[in-house]
Amino acid sequence: MGTFVVETSFRVRYAETDAMGIAYHANYVVWFEVGRGEFMWQQGGSYGDLEAQGYFLPVTEVKARYLAPCRYGDIITVRTRVAELRSRQVVFGYEIVSAAGQTLCSGETVHVCTDRDGRVRALPAWVRELLNK
């Protein structure tokens, strides 16, 4: 798993920085979501497609390791991959890097597939295929 990587680049916005002028730590989790959404789009699907069929992928765990700061105006890239795929769970892996290629943060999010009522369900075959391309 994890050989296909989607890269999403953007500039750090002023609102994402703290009083010290560096990106606030919680924004990295938001950037993980940006990367995850783009990963789904580039694989030919979306969270909207999943939810329209009654399935959801709530985040059940987040890990982030902060290695170096970034600041307002910096161009960063979120590299997203599927780190692990199970019958009812998917783990996305992330690396956030600077324009110079320095790793700023690495992390993972764990997601469990549920139905509309929050009951754990197996990932539909089409989602497994989408994530396993």
Q: Catalogue the active-site residues.
A: 18
Segments in 1-133 forming alpha helices (H): 26-42, 47-52, 125-131
Distances (CA, A) of 129 to 23, 44, 133: 35, 10, 6
- Let me know: does 109 contact 31? Beta carbons within 8 Å: no
